Amino acid sequence: MGKIIAITNQKGGVGKTTSSINIAASLAATKRSVLLIDLDPQGNASSGCGIDKDEIEYHVLDVLLGEKSARECMVNAEQAGFYILPTNSDLAAAEAHLLNEENKENRLKQAISELKNDFDYVFIDCPPSLSILTVNALVAADSVMIPMQCEYYALEGLKALLSTIEQITEHVNPKLTIEGLLRTMYDPRNRLAVEVSNQLHEHFGDKVYRTAIPRNVRLAEAPSYGMPALMYDRLSRGAKAYLALAGEMIRRQESE
């Protein structure tokens, strides 16, 4: 049975979508079967996998509204190496569509339950806000991965996110756990980054991944070519870091 991991941070610009795409691609490169669900109305995970989000026939909103099954809507992102449940800007209307619906926070969980046995990993790329979409992701997920920059404001955002996760655990999804904290855009020459990193290790221990993702031009360039960094430049520092992270995740899961 696969593991469903929500990749989220209420603070934008922390490398959430970059991490979603590149973790999925790196695990797929190790022969794991992977599904990425793009739950962000910006649709950057979809376009970053080479999917033309304006041309897709069915997408996540159709799934949330119960008009199509997840299996009908997912697409094989061949050059990325995994399947994706794509989205586009239509998803921004989800809040209004679901406002008066019953059981609205469980829509995604119900929709992807049939897929859990088909994949080793299911990742959910969440929007950078606490909306009904993020709540759906946290209710559907087994665990949460939190990408974050090592800077002062990131710690404040982390505190708010942990509070949200605690509320979801208490009221809706008691099995939800922290998968791990991922340091992104990390520069060990930056004293503040090192200090914040040390604080994370102090408070969260081995929940902080040993692998840190460096600032890397290739990581920033790859989405404009519609492919993960591993396919764009497999020798880049960014691609190597995400491959190392994939290895770390596999070892963690095998030791559980």
Q: How does pLDDT run across 46-63, given as a tens digit for each residue?
A: 999 999 988 888 999 999
CATH of the domain at 158: 3.40.50.300
The answer to the question of residue 225 being in a domain is yes
The answer to the question of residue 13 being in a domain is yes
The DSSP string of 131-177 is: SHHHHHHHHH-SEEEEEEESSHHHHHHHHHHHHHHHHHHHHT-TT-E
The answer to the question of residue 120 being in a domain is yes
Does 140 have pLDDT greater than 90? Answer: yes
Count of other CB atoms within 10 angstroms of residue 224: 10
| Residues pairing with 177 in the sheet | 143
In this structure, of 15-29, 147-161, 197-211, the range with the lowest mean pLDDT score is: 147-161
Picking from 153, 136, 126, the residue whose alpha carbon sits closest to that of residue 44 is 126
CA dihedral (123, 210, 213, 161) positive or negative: positive
Higher confidence at residue 160 or residue 34?
A: 34
In this structure, of 24-33, 50-59, 135-144, 238-247, the range with the lowest mean pLDDT score is: 50-59
The answer to the question of residue 256 being in a domain is no
The answer to the question of residue 112 being in a domain is yes
Q: CA-CA distance, 160 to 4, in Å (whole number)?
A: 22
| Whole-Å CA distances, 255 to 33, 248, 251 | 19, 11, 6
The answer to the question of residue 45 being in a domain is yes
Say if residues 119 and 33 touch (Cβ distance below 8 Å). Answer: yes
Q: Give the global pTM.
A: 0.95
Helices and strands (H and E) in the chain: how many: 12, 7
Say if residues 127 and 39 touch (Cβ distance below 8 Å). Answer: yes
Q: CA-CA distance, 26 to 219, in Å (whole number)?
A: 13
- pLDDT tens, residue by residue, 154-206: 777 788 889 989 999 999 999 999 999 999 999 999 999 999 999 999 989 99
Q: CA-CA distance, 242 to 13, in Å (whole number)?
A: 18
Provide the 8-state DSSP code for 10. S
The answer to the question of residue 47 being in a domain is yes
Say if residues 242 and 213 touch (Cβ distance below 8 Å). Answer: yes
Considering its fold, how many domains does the chain have in total?
1
Instruction: Print the domain residue range for 154.
Output: 3-251
What one-letter code names the amino acid at 47? S
